[in-house]
Every structure is written in structure tokens, then in C-alpha cells.
Amino acid sequence: MRTSTRTRYRHFAPFVTITSTALLLTACGSGSDDTTGSAANAAAAKADKIPTTDVVSDITKDEAAAELLPSGVTSLTVAVAVGGTPPGTTYLDDGKTLTGQDVDFADAVAKVLGIELKTEQASFEAILPALDSGKYDFGASNFGVTDERRKTIDFVTYINDGQGFATREDSKLAKITDLKQLCGLNVATAAGTTFEATLEENKNVCTDAGKKAYKVQTYSEQGAIWSSLQQGRSDIVMSTINGLRYAVAQQQGVKFLNEFHRLDVGFAFKKDTKLAPAFQAAVNKLIADGTYDKILKKWGTTGSAIAKSEISPPELKN
């Protein structure tokens, strides 16, 4: 999704501790040897420098946006997937307080709308299916807006991220512009993500060209994805641009290859939600008053800025 101007917090920890919930544009895993998962996530959370600037507390209610809420709505439940490191959702040093770019945006929108927000943790792949049942009112976990998802989910966009690739520094790979370049390779990614869907839907590009198909290896833990790369069980990682850039900035022995496909990212709701207009107005209010820019600067993701929020826009084609 972008060439970022983000601030990079450098802390060279052991390679195996590279983890990032921002890698969930995604988010069990059919990959093997998931031995580093939870331990790696915990280690990374402690090792990384987590921005703590308060960019939400001073936000005041906007009556015009609040009036767009359905009558009687005073509180909502948001589902988030927690992984390892910023800019995705993680824990502060107390091990209890959630933080991250998605958390800040959800809290900021709630402030603008003057509603209470209850945050619940869930696995990434479980959030979207649970929206229709009413278990959660919306999801905030870097959900990419795709045409396939729009069939059953409504979105309100707040950033632009996308799909990218990373690999070991000693790899001869330099840039992936065509999935045929992956033929014969093992590609690690997270389950239930746009990455897995893209890879599975296009496996035929290799066999159609008379080449060996690439193998998609999915994992439930971000630490396991990166350890598979380090240990040679996978050749390349496909994930979010923001997450990959962050991981590369934090670690030795890995390199970011390139952006592959940009996607808008949005809050996710059940289809035909009545909440979308209010959330759209709230995001646009944050953009207009400068709070939006403060959130992006906090998390080093200014390259993901959007000019205005949209409701379920068509998937970006690039």
C-alpha cells in the first residue's frame, strides 16, 4: 500500500521475535512447527518501543455526527485482534491496556459520537463472521476493503494500507510485481486474510505457465510466520505494507521487497448497518480538525492517510 514516511523505532531484537498485528490485514494455521508463537509475541511486545502519546482524550463530541446515530445508541462493542507489535493492536507494558492505531481510531470515533465503547478481543478470522450475529457491533483490526468482503460486510474507511512482501536479506528476490515470481516457493501468511485469499485464488498462474505452483503456508501466530522464514521453511512473507515495514525496521536479517496491491482499510460492520453514516462523519471530522493526522504521526503511518472517509468503496485496482 505505500511508501511510508513513518518514524521508525529501531530496536534490534532476536529475529524470531518479529511479530506484528498490523500484519493482520488482514489474520489457523496449516503451517507447521508453531513453536515460537505466544512466546515470540510476548517478547516482541516488551522489546518494542510503543508510542504512548495521548491523541484521544481531548476529543469532544460533534453533535452533527452524533445525530446520525440510530436512535437510542449510547454504547457499542468493538472487536479487535491482538497480536504483538505496533502499529497493530498490542499491550502497553502493564500487560492489560490495549493500544495501537486501530484502537486509537476506534476510541477517537467514539469520542466524536459521544458514545461508550466496550472493547473485546477476538481472533482475526472470527470477527467478520460474528458481526452478522450481533456479537460485536463492529470490528477494528486493519480490515482491507475487498469486493468479496463487501458482499457480506459494510465498511467505513479510515486509512489506506495494502499487500506487500518481505524476505531474508540473503534472498535474490528484489521485487514482486507478478505472482508468477513466487512459483515453486513457500509463501507464509496469516489465515483468514486478504493475503491468503489472493494467493489461493491465483495459484493457477504457475501451473498455467507450466511451472510448479507456490505453496501457501498459513499460521495463527505472527511469530511463527517469521520464524518459518528464518528457519528456511518459507521463502517469503506476504502481509500488510505497514506491518512489514515496521518489522523490517525493527529487525536484522530481513528486507521489505515492495508494495504489491493497495487496499482501503475500514471499520467493519454487518451488511446494511445503520451505523455507517455516523462513523463516516466522525472520521471526516477527525480529518478536518487535525486529530487524524496526529494519530497517523503517532504510529508512523502518515503514508496511509486518506483524504476522506467512504462507505464500502469498490476495491482499489492497481
Largest CA distance in the chain: 61
Q: What is the pTM of this model?
A: 0.78
Give the type of residue at 32: S
Res. 184 pLDDT band, cuts 50 70 90: very high
Instruction: Give me the pLDDT at residue 33, please.
Output: 37
DSSP 102: H
The 10s digit of each residue's pLDDT in 72-84 is 999 999 999 986 6
* Dihedral (Cα; 62, 67, 71, 74), 10-degree rounding: 0
How far is 190 from 29, CA to CA, in rounded Å?
7
User: Residue 304 is placed in which grid cell?
Assistant: 496511509
Q: Residue 156: which of 311, 1, 263 has the closest Cα?
A: 311
DSSP 170: T
Instruction: Give me the pLDDT at residue 17, please.
Output: 38
Q: Rounded to whole angstroms, what are the CA distances from 133 to 84, 127, 138, 235?
A: 28, 11, 11, 39
Within 13 Å of residue 63, how many CA atoms lie on the same side as its CB?
0
Res. 240 pLDDT band, cuts 50 70 90: confident
Three-state secondary-structure class, residue 38: helix
Asked if pLDDT for residue 35 goes beyond 90, the answer is no
User: Residue 62 is placed in which grid cell?
Assistant: 460533534
Q: What are phi and psi of 204, to 5 degrees?
A: -65, -15
Instruction: Give me the pLDDT at residue 242, please.
Output: 86
30 vs 227: which has the higher pLDDT: 227
Res. 40 pLDDT band, cuts 50 70 90: very low
The 10s digit of each residue's pLDDT in 251-301 is 789 999 989 989 999 999 999 999 999 999 999 999 999 999 999 999 989
The length of the chain in residues reads: 318
Q: In what order do the strands lie in the sheet with 215-219?
A: 116-121, 75-80, 138-144, 254-270, 153-168, 236-240, 186-190, 215-219
> Considering the chain, what percentage of its residues have pLDDT values greater than 70?
84
Asked if pLDDT for residue 15 goes beyond 90, the answer is no
98 vs 250: which has the higher pLDDT: 98
Average pLDDT, the chain: 84
Q: Residue 30: which of 188, 235, 238 has the closest Cα?
A: 188
Q: Rounded to whole angstroms, what are the CA distances from 158 to 53, 58, 178, 204, 275?
A: 20, 20, 28, 34, 15
Q: How confident is the model over 93-111, as a mean pLDDT?
A: 95
Q: Are 82 and 69 in contact (CB under 8 A)?
A: no
Q: Residue 266: which of 67, 131, 64, 121 has the closest Cα?
A: 131
Instruction: Give me the pLDDT at residue 243, please.
Output: 83
Asked if pLDDT for residue 23 goes beyond 80, the answer is no
172 vs 42: which has the higher pLDDT: 172
> Considering the chain, what percentage of its residues have pLDDT values greater than 90?
65
Instruction: Give me the pLDDT at residue 4, please.
Output: 34
Q: Rounded to whole angstroms, what are the CA distances from 246 to 108, 168, 174, 242?
A: 23, 15, 18, 6
Among 26-40, 120-134, 151-165, 200-214, which is the least confidently predicted range?
A: 26-40
